[in-house]
Amino acid sequence: MSSKSSSVCLYLLLLLLVSGTRTAVSHWIVKTLPGFPGELPFKLETGYISVGEGEFFYYFVESEGNPRADPLLLYINGGPGCSALNGFLYQIASPRSDPRQTLIPLKLPKNPSPAWLGAVMAETRRVREEGNWVCLEDANVKVGEFVGRAKEEVSKGRGELERFWTELLPEFVSWNRWERWKLVVSVHTSTDKDSSYEGPLKFNIADYTGGLPTLIYEPNTWTKTANVLFLDAPVGGGFSYATISEAWSASDTKVAAQAYEFLRNWLIEHSDFMNNPVYLGSDSYQGVVTPILAQDIINGNEAGIEPQVNIKGLSLGCPHTNSVLEDNTRVIFAHRMGLISDAMYKSAKTSCNGNYIDSTNANCTEAVASISQCIEQVNEADILGPNCAFISPKPKEGAQGFLNENSRDFILPWSRNGDFWCKNFDYILFDIWINYKSVQGALHVRPGTVKEVFRCNITLTSEYSYNVKDAIPYHKNLTNSGLQILVFSGDHDMSVTHIAVEQWINSLDLTIDTEWRPWFVDGQVAGYTRKYTNSGYRLTYATIKGAGHSPTEYKRKECYDMFHRWIHYYPL
């Protein structure tokens, strides 16, 4: 039998094995999505792949270039437990929410008079009569019980505009007697209520019918130059689910092993992409899992496991690697950024001897406490942004607590009058949009397999087994692999600081191929870069100027240009 015939028989055998599993592999082409006008301008496929007792949901977007030749990027979001749609909608893929709005700060008197209430009611009615929408958002997302009760009124169909102004607002003003929180009026400038951008809090105005967040095309998408396979992992993230209770457990090494099996099964089902160069992409906490996955793939290839995965490299955004290293460098970062004084930093440095975590030295503990108090109101994800409250309950405290994706402070959009406001809308829009039955139907989600879906699953995060405390040894092993690595950091991210990332890269003892220099987009400095080598292994490190945690959410054009140059072997 010829080698070609053997290869065909082996492929057919693999396909039969996968097809004969408990739940057959199934996938669908999605041509339209609720909230997006017309057909999608790219090819989107969704589906499930069985891995053990888990059913893993994915979104596959074909490259807008040459799908059969362009790289295949397997992308897993951080968290752990954040939906793959987070990357699809916010970070590297095509559609995004459509924020057509004007934000107006509302000055609340301590004792709102009937005349004041009447004037505001008249103005909001006028705006509505012009075909626009009026919502009220809380600029700090901290109205607690007030917001909860308002949502309850909306769900019961009694949240009328007049009730808000005459009952709930005065109650809020009384509760907010120290004037710590602020409210914002959001005027949505759309004559079609079904296509308007929806805020995080919607009151049941007289003719309220529900409305769906709209989507618009994002031109700076990585799918222009690569096929991107977004995976909901681990089980419990997004639409991935398990058929038995034991399969809901997750850990760093287990997620890596499941992702490897998922990728092999997906390639068997999509044989046209079997020979495409494969890259692994991730951000934040998945920075721990991705190098483990890469090592699993290399080991599997060497062991002759079929199908062989044509792995070529990794793309890691603000990657979590070692929590002790990251926590320690936050003190250095705060000093470099002018958030703490020279005296505070010198005191901590002298007392703690470089170890600011869990010190038994009383002087060190006191110095670190002073620093913590000084920076506790700074947005860790983006020190330039306002410190908005959590949109969901805070996760249990722990080494990974501050890295939890669902507790990220929100990035900032421009309002029409040029003011900055906390961007709480987009993340809440996600939860609104994804829980529409029409959306889940369009995505071909299996009915009844998940209940309410969130951008990030906090329950999963708190129950996850963080069994790899230090991913640096995995990176060290990969330096002999011949892979191409991209590591990038937002230079205003205090969660996973660029200092920590640079320190673990330096610990790999690589040869500097290209010294530290600026890199440019449209003639402007987009960040700084340095390139390292070790025989065939190449690591490109880049900072993204002005970006916070998950830089692709802040600087999409810069990140697209960076990725495009890197994956096609051009210098940044």
493 included as an active-site residue: yes
Least confident range from 253-262, 372-381, 530-539: namely 372-381
Is the pLDDT at 164 greater than 70, yes or no? no
Is the pLDDT at 482 greater than 90, yes or no? yes
Structure tokens at 174: 């009384």
Report how many helices (DSSP H) and strands (DSSP E) the chain contains, helices first. Answer: 17, 17
The pLDDT of 148-168, averaged and rounded, is 45
The pLDDT-based confidence of 446 (bands split at 50, 70, 90) is very high
The pLDDT of 565-569, averaged and rounded, is 94
Peptide bond between residue 80 and the one before it cis (omega within 30 degrees of 0): yes
Looking at residue 18, what is its pLDDT? 39
Q: Which residue has the higher pLDDT, 241 or 151?
A: 241
State the sign of the Cα–Cα–Cα–Cα dihedral 319, 427, 166, 118. positive
Owner of token pair 């040459």: 66
Looking at residue 94, what is its pLDDT? 52
Contacts of 429 (CB under 8 A, 6+ apart): 97, 197, 198, 200, 213
Among 45-49, 133-137, 186-190, 239-243, which range has the highest average pLDDT? 45-49
The pLDDT-based confidence of 105 (bands split at 50, 70, 90) is very low
Looking at residue 415, what is its pLDDT? 37
Is the pLDDT at 43 greater than 70, yes or no? yes
Peptide bond between residue 234 and the one before it cis (omega within 30 degrees of 0): yes
Residue of 94, 282, 284, 315 marked catalytic = 284
The pLDDT-based confidence of 122 (bands split at 50, 70, 90) is low
The pLDDT of 547-554, averaged and rounded, is 87
Which of 3.40.50.1820, 3.60.20.10, 3.10.20.30, 2.60.260.20 would CATH assign to domain 23-96+219-321+466-567?
3.40.50.1820
Q: What angle do CA 469, 474, 480 make, to 5 degrees?
A: 165
Q: Is 533 helix (H, G, I), strand (E, B) or coil?
A: strand
The pLDDT-based confidence of 70 (bands split at 50, 70, 90) is very high
Residue of 431, 475, 549, 561 marked catalytic = 549
Question: Do 285 and 395 contact (CB within 8 A), yes or no?
Answer: no
Q: How many C-beta atoms surround the C-beta of residue 245 within 10 A?
A: 8
Question: Do 166 and 117 contact (CB within 8 A), yes or no?
Answer: yes
Boundaries of every domain in the chain: 23-96+219-321+466-567, 101-212
Looking at residue 402, what is its pLDDT? 28
Q: Is 184 helix (H, G, I), strand (E, B) or coil?
A: strand
Strand 95-97 with 215-217, pairing: antiparallel
Looking at residue 38, what is its pLDDT? 82
233, 236, 241, 242: CA torsion to nearest 10: 100
Is the pLDDT at 419 greater than 50, yes or no? no
Contacts of 334 (CB under 8 A, 6+ apart): 340, 345, 371, 374, 375, 494
- Give whole-number Cα distances, 192 to 131, 154, 209, 439, in Å: 7, 20, 12, 19
List own/partner pairs for 169-173 with CB under 8 A and 24 or more apart: 169/108, 169/112, 169/117, 170/112, 171/146, 172/143, 172/146, 173/108, 173/109, 173/110, 173/111, 173/112
Is the pLDDT at 52 greater than 60, yes or no? yes
Backbone angles phi, psi at 292, to 5 degrees: -65, -45
The pLDDT-based confidence of 442 (bands split at 50, 70, 90) is very high
488/425 Cα distance (integer angstroms): 26
Is the pLDDT at 309 greater than 70, yes or no? yes
Write down the mean pLDDT value for the chain: 76
Least confident range from 254-258, 360-364, 489-493: namely 360-364
Q: Is 475 helix (H, G, I), strand (E, B) or coil?
A: helix
The pLDDT of 318-322, averaged and rounded, is 95
Is the pLDDT at 273 greater than 50, yes or no? yes
Backbone angles phi, psi at 23, to 5 degrees: -125, 120
User: Can you list the positions of beta strands (E) in 285-407?
Assistant: 311-317
Contacts of 288 (CB under 8 A, 6+ apart): 252, 319, 320, 321, 466, 468, 471
Looking at residue 127, what is its pLDDT? 53
Q: What is the DSSP letter of 274?
A: T
Indicate left, alpha or beta for 82 from its phi (over 0: left) and psi (-120 to 50: alpha). Answer: beta
123/127 Cα distance (integer angstroms): 6
The pLDDT-based confidence of 143 (bands split at 50, 70, 90) is very low
542/338 Cα distance (integer angstroms): 22
544/480 Cα distance (integer angstroms): 27
Contacts of 126 (CB under 8 A, 6+ apart): none
Q: Which residue has the higher pLDDT, 271 or 360?
A: 271
Q: Which residue has the higher pLDDT, 359 or 539?
A: 539
State the helix-helix crossing angle for 362-375 and 342-352, rounded to 10 degrees: 150
381/2 Cα distance (integer angstroms): 57
User: Tens digits of per-residue pLDDT, 463-474?
Assistant: 789 999 999 999
570/572 Cα distance (integer angstroms): 6
Question: Computed over its alpha carbons, how large is the radius of gyration of the chain?
Answer: 25
The pLDDT-based confidence of 83 (bands split at 50, 70, 90) is confident
Residue 249, judged by CB atoms within 10 A of its CB (0-12, 13-18, 19+), counts as: middle
Question: Do 382 and 495 contact (CB within 8 A), yes or no?
Answer: no
Q: How many C-beta atoms surround the C-beta of residue 250 within 10 A?
A: 23
Is the pLDDT at 514 greater than 60, yes or no? yes
The pLDDT of 277-287, averaged and rounded, is 94
User: Tens digits of per-residue pLDDT, 173-228?
Assistant: 665 555 555 554 444 443 333 322 222 112 122 222 345 777 777 777 898 899 99
User: Tens digits of per-residue pLDDT, 165-174?
Assistant: 556 566 666 6
Looking at residue 434, what is its pLDDT? 84
Residue of 493, 495, 550, 561 marked catalytic = 493
